[in-house]
């Protein structure tokens, strides 16, 4: 049989072959912003209404401000699937179908989102006790392909009418299906609580139960403050591409005072939370519109560093929250969780900012001048959102000059922190110093005293240290690192000027005892380095580990030569001592004891 192949067919096939898809982790590098139907319309949604919302998002300036997702929540679908088992639109409320509606939304420059459920029925169909096939359980691959066919950009996935024992399995199945669908689709888990497996498979996840129009709830839902308080505990989890979701906005709806609405915007901004409007924007007031469109608030929320702000003090309900920003500035939120007027203060020295700095008040849209502290009177449940504008301060090598390569780098000698983009020299996730060394007490980096000197310990995944180094000449070097771990899943990598120079390097697990971080092993890798001054970064990529030093050698290995070994006195030579260097002093270590090069014991 002959098959006629037209130019259009060939063009379509070529388009599919050459189509490129983003990595799932890069779909929402800043918190997604948009609109969701549930809090305002609940199950009562229809095609014309949604088109009008799309029009309003464009005409009001919301789209240009970054609110680009238009997401339909529950009840867009029919209770029955089609003859092939596919999800289908409710023919009465969405007669043109989802593909046509997605096309309309896309033509406006917006992105289109839908809602589903991992169970047998979606929440509204389940709670209404309808006989329904609206859930995706057992249909993950089929439903994901249908979403891609329709042009869906965002998929919120709920948790009703489902098996509580298969949560991870079900959500993982949908995650894989979306990634294999042939379209970039943001995956939003709505399981009403956080689980540690979620960041591996989703772009965002609800950390709490449903929000409602109250500061403190007296009903089945959670109030705005209760959600703020619950979401705070997960601040270290969020990062670009992966966000804690404290649910959508109640701003613009009845139930909250104006101050409470502004405080929700303040706290969603400082917490790097997804900002999903859920009010009738076709008839929003100017007051509400100003809250949505405040440029300073949006800039803090959308900052590309992607750190979730967190609470650093709470004195009788008077709270201070901070969030570091990409350019070195610091965002500060002041919150009054009292039912009366209170004055909330913040001394900038308490958050690591010395002297006077320029301060921008986001809601007042004015600069407060150079100050070293703020004291602001806030109404009940009121807030202030500030940006501390820090002047850049260059980083500096801890020893005053770049560390030499070839040579040995003591890991505790990381660069002195500066201020501003590119001047941060370490990332310490846990600001409490667990170490027992006072070598560098002001950093929060965990330094411990060991027999070999000071080491950096208590290192967890995502933490890093940077060093200014000077490579003597271009070539291949042998890298040795002295590391310890009680786990078999610890690892690290090295990069230079932002580019990896090693793959992940596994850290050997201690062979004796439980929780043993005193058994050091040397790991090795070959690295290609370029002559000149560079920034070297050590990054922890696996479980907890300790590290003593990193050494770069020009030889095939970093072992000492026989000539050096024979200069070691016989009193210590025959027991495999370690030749070590600390600063400009060389010494020998044997069985935890130290000797100088003449063989005398160092006390």
Active site residue ranges: 158, 210
Residues in contact with 339: Cβ distance below 8 Å, sequence separation at least 6, in sequence order: 380, 381
3-state helix, strand, coil in the chain (%, to 5): 25, 30, 45
In 3D space, the residue among 93, 188, 102, 89 whose CA is nearest the CA of residue 150 turns out to be 102
Residues forming beta bridges with residue 211, ordered by sequence position: 222
Matching residue, tokens 């469109």: 293
Residue 429 tokens, joined: 């996730």
DSSP helix/strand/coil, 284: coil
Tell me how far apart the alpha carbons of residues 476 and 559 are, in angstroms, rounded to a whole number.
16
In the structure encoding, which two tokens stand for residue 318, read together?
């008077």
Strand order across the beta sheet in which 243-245 lies: 243-245, 204-206, 186-189, 154-158, 111-117, 69-71, 33-36, 275-277
3-state secondary structure 156-176: EEECCCCCHHHHHHHHHHHHH
The structure tokens 């900002």 sit at 275
The answer to whether 582 and 445 have CB atoms below 8 angstroms apart is no
CB-based contacts of 195, cutoff 8 Å, min separation 6: 167, 168, 205
Token code pair at residue 14:
């070529």
Place of tokens 């009465």: 92
Is residue 177 within 8 A of residue 137, CB to CB? The reply is: no
Mapping DSSP onto H, E and C, the string for 73-129 reads: CCCCECCCCCCCCCCCECCCCCCCCHHHHHHHHHHCCCEEEEEEECCCCCHHHHHCC
3-state secondary structure of 561: coil
**CB distance 517 to 457 below 8 Å:** yes
């Amino acid at each position: 049989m002959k098959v006629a192949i037209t130019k259009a067919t060939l063009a379509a096939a070529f388009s599919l072959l050459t189509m490129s898809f983003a990595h799932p982790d890069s779909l929402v590098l800043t918190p997604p912003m948009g609109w969701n139907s549930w809090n305002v319309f609940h199950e009562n949604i229809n095609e014309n209404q949604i088109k009008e919302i799309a029009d309003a998002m464009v005409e009001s300036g919301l789209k240009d401000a970054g609110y680009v997702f238009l997401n339909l929540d529950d009840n867009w679908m029919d209770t029955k699937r089609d003859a092939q088992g596919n999800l289908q639109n409710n023919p009465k409320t969405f007669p043109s179908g989802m593909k046509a509606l997605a096309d309309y939304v896309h033509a406006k420059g917006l992105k289109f989102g839908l809602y589903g459920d991992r169970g047998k029925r979606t929440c509204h169909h389940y709670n209404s006790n309808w006989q329904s096939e609206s859930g995706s359980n057992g249909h993950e691959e089929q439903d994901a392909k249908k979403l891609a066919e329709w042009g869906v950009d965002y998929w919120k996935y709920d948790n009703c009418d489902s098996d509580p024992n298969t949560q991870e399995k079900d959500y993982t199945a949908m995650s894989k299906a979306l990634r294999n669908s042939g379209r970039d689709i943001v995956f939003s888990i709505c399981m009403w609580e956080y689980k540690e497996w979620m960041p591996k498979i989703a772009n965002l996840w609800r950390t709490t139960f449903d929000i409602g129009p109250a500061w403190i709830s007296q009903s089945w839902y959670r109030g705005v403050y209760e959600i703020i308080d619950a979401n705070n505990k997960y601040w270290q989890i969020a990062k670009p591409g992966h966000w804690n979701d404290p649910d959508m906005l109640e701003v613009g709806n009845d139930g909250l005072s104006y101050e409470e609405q502004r405080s929700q915007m303040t706290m969603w901004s400082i917490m790097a939370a997804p900002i999903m409007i859920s009010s009738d924007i076709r008839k929003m007031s100017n007051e509400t519109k100003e809250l949505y469109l405040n440029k300073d608030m949006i800039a803090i929320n959308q900052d590309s560093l992607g750190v979730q702000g967190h609470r650093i003090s709470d004195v009788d309900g008077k709270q201070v929250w901070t969030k570091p920003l990409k350019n070195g500035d610091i965002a500060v939120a002041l919150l009054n969780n009292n039912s009366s007027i209170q004055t909330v203060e913040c001394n900038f020295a308490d958050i690591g900012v010395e002297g006077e700095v320029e301060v921008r008040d986001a809601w007042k849209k004015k600069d407060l001048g150079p100050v070293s502290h703020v004291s602001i009177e806030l109404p009940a449940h009121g807030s202030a959102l500030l940006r501390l504008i820090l002047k850049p301060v260059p980083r500096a090598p801890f020893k005053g000059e770049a560390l030499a390569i070839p040579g040995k780098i003591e890991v505790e000698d990381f660069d002195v922190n500066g201020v501003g983009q590119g001047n941060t020299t370490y990332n310490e996730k846990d600001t409490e110093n667990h170490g027992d060394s006072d070598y560098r007490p002001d950093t929060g980096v965990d330094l411990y005293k060991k027999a070999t000197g000071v080491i950096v310990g208590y290192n967890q995944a995502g933490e890093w240290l940077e060093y200014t180094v000077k490579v003597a000449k271009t070539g291949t070097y042998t890298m040795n690192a002295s590391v310890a771990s009680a786990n078999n899943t610890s690892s690290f990598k090295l990069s230079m000027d932002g580019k990896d120079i090693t793959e992940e390097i596994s850290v050997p697990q201690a062979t004796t005892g439980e929780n043993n971080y005193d058994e050091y092993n040397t790991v090795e890798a070959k690295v290609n380095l370029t002559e000149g001054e560079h920034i070297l970064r050590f990054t922890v990529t696996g479980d907890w580990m300790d590290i003593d030093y990193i050494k770069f050698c020009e030889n095939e290995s970093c072992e000492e030569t026989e000539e050096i070994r024979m200069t070691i006195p016989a009193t210590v030579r025959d027991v495999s001592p370690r030749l070590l260097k600390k600063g400009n002093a060389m010494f020998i270590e044997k069985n935890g004891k130290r000797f100088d090069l003449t063989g005398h014991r160092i006390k």
